[in-house]
Amino acid sequence: MSTELGRLEDLPADYREALTERNLVPLWPNLRGVLPPGKPRPRTRATHWPYASIKPLLLQAGELTPIEKAERRVLVLANPGHGLDNMQASAAMYLGMQLLLPGEWAPSHRHTPNAVRMVVEGEGAWSLVDGEKCPMSRGDLILTPTGLWHEHGHDGTEPVIWLDVLDLPLVYYMEASYHVNSDRQTVIAGHGENRHARGGLLPTLVFERSNRAYPMLRYPWADARAALESLAADQPDLEAVQMTYVNPQTGAHAENILGFYAMMLRPGQTLTLPARSPAMIFHLIEGGATVQVEQQRFGLAEADTCCAPGYVPVTLANTSACAPAFLFVADETPLHQKLGVYETRA
């Protein structure tokens, strides 16, 4: 089959004008753009966002814009491959660093995109999600799934910063993105992370199946870190020490579009991840690491974030020979699996 297809400019001008007047487009000049040979051509670029350069600008935003004027005070981590104005980290992922100052309250709202919060630094803040109050500590993962009311408050004395990860680009592309504001929520008793605190054990009344699609909203970092260390000790030959954040009642991914993981690199370890179809986000919680994506290499300090496009291998290396490194990883795996396009390449 020929790889050379006819060009749009090869067609007579009057024919092109007739197509345009009727809202028609010839496929063949555009076919290779939408169906490239061999593999996709992602617009997502390997990109590094050093936290040391973000934090001063985020704190300055706190001085320049009161929370009442911002509602959510966020600096978006935009991927240049998608154009900064599109506010995308990848085709389906949005990233933002959010700041909440002592005494502030970010109003209650709900929206169609799914979101999670990965706490970067600070103490005393909380998210109230569907009436459940979720304290924020470094490394904690907090869900705010589609349609659930959520607000943020701060009772502490120092700024709190967290990383937002949303499937906003996908929902926006589907023309299904919107939000609704509300008054403050009423706090309800109970915490999902307490009911589902031990692997292999579930509360007996889980068999009655509550109507909550997301029975666990807060995943404490202390538990995730301990699980990684236990796995590493139990399986010393295991190459990839990684845990998946899941819905404890179903075993499925914690949310239904994006996947979230905690990863440990052993001291001095180098780990090569195979080329897979979904794009990936890496956020360093503890330690130091490098990320190699094709010809680009990023040195990650604590709280740094970077992304890698799909269909390319990624090599991670722990820069310490004596201490582990811990990362939070987000990717588009659940979406690719649901669409039937997920693949791994040697």
Dump pLDDT digits (tens) for 135-165.
Answer: 999 999 999 999 999 999 999 999 999 999 9
Q: Which long-range contacts (CB under 8 A, 24 or more apart) does 209-213 make?
A: 209/249, 212/130, 213/145
Stretch 211-217: mean pLDDT: 88
Beta-sheet strand order (sheet of 94-100): 74-76, 94-100, 160-166, 115-121, 141-144, 218-219
Q: Is the pLDDT of residue 71 over 60?
A: yes
Q: Is the pLDDT of residue 206 over 80?
A: no
Dump pLDDT digits (tens) for 248-299.
Answer: 989 999 999 999 999 999 999 999 999 999 999 999 999 999 999 999 999 9
CA distance 23 to 98: 42
The pLDDT assigned to 5 comes to: 86
CA distance 44 to 233: 36
Stretch 27-41: mean pLDDT: 93
What mean pLDDT value characterizes the chain? 94
Encoded tokens for 163: 């990383």
74 strand-pairing partners: 98
Domain boundaries in the chain? 47-345
Return the percentage of the chain with pLDDT > 70, whole number.
Answer: 97
The pLDDT assigned to 253 comes to: 97
Nearest alpha-carbon partner for 49 in 24, 69, 78:
78
80 confidence band (pLDDT: 50, 70, 90)? very high
The pLDDT assigned to 223 comes to: 96
CATH number of the domain located at residue range(s) 47-345 in this protein: 2.60.120.10
Q: What is the DSSP letter of 253?
A: B
Q: Which of 29-38, 92-101, 220-229 shows the lowest per-residue confidence on average (mean pLDDT)?
A: 29-38
What ranges in the chain are assigned the alpha helix state H?
13-21, 31-34, 51-64, 67-70, 168-173, 192-195, 221-234, 333-339
Nearest alpha-carbon partner for 256 in 145, 127, 94, 149:
145
290 strand-pairing partners: 299, 317
